[in-house]
Amino acid sequence: MRFTSKFIYPYLLILLWSIFYIPKTSAQEGPSPKLIVGVVIDQMRADYLYRYQNRYGEDGFKRLLREGFNFKNTNVNYIPSETAPGHASIYTGTTPSYHGIIGNSWYDRETKAVIGNVSDDQEYIVGSVVENPYGASPKKLLTSTITDELKQASNFKSKVISVSIKDRGAILPGGKAADAAYWHDWESSPGYFVSSSFYMKNIPDWVTKFNSEEKSDAYLNETWNTLYPIETYNASAPDNNAFEPSLSGKTSPTFPYDFKTMRAEARTKGTEFQLLWVSPKGNTLLTEFAITALQEEKLGKDEITDFLSISYSVPDVIGHTFGPQSVEMEDIYLRLDQDIATLLNALDTNVGKDNYTLFLTSDHGAIQNVSFLKENKLDAAIARTIGDARELEAFLDTKYGDGSWVSTVNGNNLYLNRTTIDEKN
């Protein structure tokens, strides 16, 4: 069985949609591809492929649709559909109840604390300018990933590199056997790419060199304006509206975004370099880093199949901030289309058109902004979360007697105190 058939099939049923670019000569029986490239676009809805299609170029999303295979009848068969469970499900081929990544965070009954999906206080961040006490690793992942399986199948001769803006977008696809997972550390360094001591003791020289170019800093001195005249963005709601928030340093949710001015205020809050997460340059930065990894790690340069995982996080942050109806979202995808074209061109040049297989998919989608729907006379409302659970505690006290009934509320999850339940029978 060919490598692509063996390892790609298991996780098709749990994806929103997937595009596989398999060159015609590679699709026939023959040598395994020299490189597999997995691209996840965080929070990309399937309709974005077509919603903005008339203004995509020929060498990005359109090329994938034109030359690849589009799997449409697919489903997410688990809850919650968040970044961490999504990435873990894509790369393990199974669901949270098996792979263990049941949310972006969850309550650990043993430690009685809310924990992150890749948080690990036994490891430390490698490559950060300022010492970072918050380590990260894939240790909470309970099953192997396709990247782990590739390493085993090649007797650990395959090279696996995973990159993202988010730590979880890099670590979970990379799995436990990856050679490296890198992400954008906005908190404790000036927008550098870092890794974990789980993978290495020191970052490679090429990563140090890339970081020394201070690309994050340079991109935050630019202004984001729409790629085309703003009046032509007919697939989106008006730029200035009441249901989109204003970013720090701005008085309205409108273009242009002068990041050089905005970063000054963000600096006082310690969030200066996080602004790249709401900038199209965040996607560009990641693309440049991925291409540098491709070249410096010499991926796809021999007959042993390598794997490059890339997760674009900016669309998710834009979606949570402005919503699917925003001009910001439309412009992000028009510019991301150019980044995808740049990536494909680099793969053609460095690996060869017929020597790699690429898939593009999403970890989850998003619903429309509630205020936007209501303004357009569609039924919509917000289901309020439990909050601090005081009303529930009071109800249970009245019904069963005083006790500590709720351990915690985390996101949409309510954790009852099992000890109290047992004591009260």
What is the chain's pLDDT, residue by residue, as a tens digit (425 residues)? 222 322 333 333 344 567 777 765 555 567 899 999 999 999 999 999 999 999 999 999 999 999 999 988 888 889 889 999 999 999 999 999 999 999 999 999 999 999 999 999 999 999 998 877 789 999 999 999 999 999 999 999 999 999 999 999 999 999 999 999 999 999 877 899 999 999 999 999 999 999 999 999 999 999 999 999 999 999 999 999 999 999 988 999 999 999 999 999 999 988 999 999 999 999 999 999 999 999 999 999 999 999 999 999 999 999 999 999 999 999 999 999 999 999 999 999 999 999 999 999 999 999 999 999 999 999 998 877 667 788 899 999 999 999 999 999 887 788 999 999 999 99
Q: Give the whole-angstrom CA distance, residue 141 versus residue 92.
A: 9
User: How many residues would you count in the chain?
Assistant: 425
3-state secondary structure of 293: helix
pLDDT score at 28:
57
pLDDT score at 17:
63
pLDDT score at 388:
74
Q: List phi, psi (to 5°) of 226.
A: -65, 145
DSSP state of 368: P
Chain-centre distance for alpha carbon 243: 25
What residue has token string 């669309």? 315
The per-residue b/e assignment along 195-206, b for 16 or more CB within 10 angstroms, e otherwise, is bbbbbeeebbee
DSSP state of 125: E
pLDDT score at 383:
77
83 is catalytic: yes
Q: Give the whole-angstrom CA distance, residue 232 versus residue 157.
A: 50
pLDDT score at 14:
41
pLDDT score at 26:
55
Residue in 83, 94, 284, 292 annotated catalytic: 83
Q: In the numeric block, which tokens belong to residue 138?
A: 């894939």
pLDDT score at 256:
97
pLDDT score at 10:
34
Give just the sign of the alpha carbon dihedral 82, 86, 88, 94: positive
All domains of the chain in start order, with CATH: 3-375 (3.40.720.10), 390-423 (no CATH)
pLDDT score at 385:
66
For residue 147, what is the enclosing H or E element? helix 146-153
pLDDT score at 25:
56
Question: Could you tell me where the beta strands, DSSP code E, fall in 42-98?
Answer: 69-71
Q: Give the whole-angstrom CA distance, residue 74 versus residue 90.
A: 12
pLDDT score at 12:
37
Q: Taking CA 201 as the corner, what is the angle to CA 118 and CA 199, rounded to the nearest 5 degrees?
A: 40
To the nearest 10°, report the CA torsion of 103, 104, 105, 110: 50
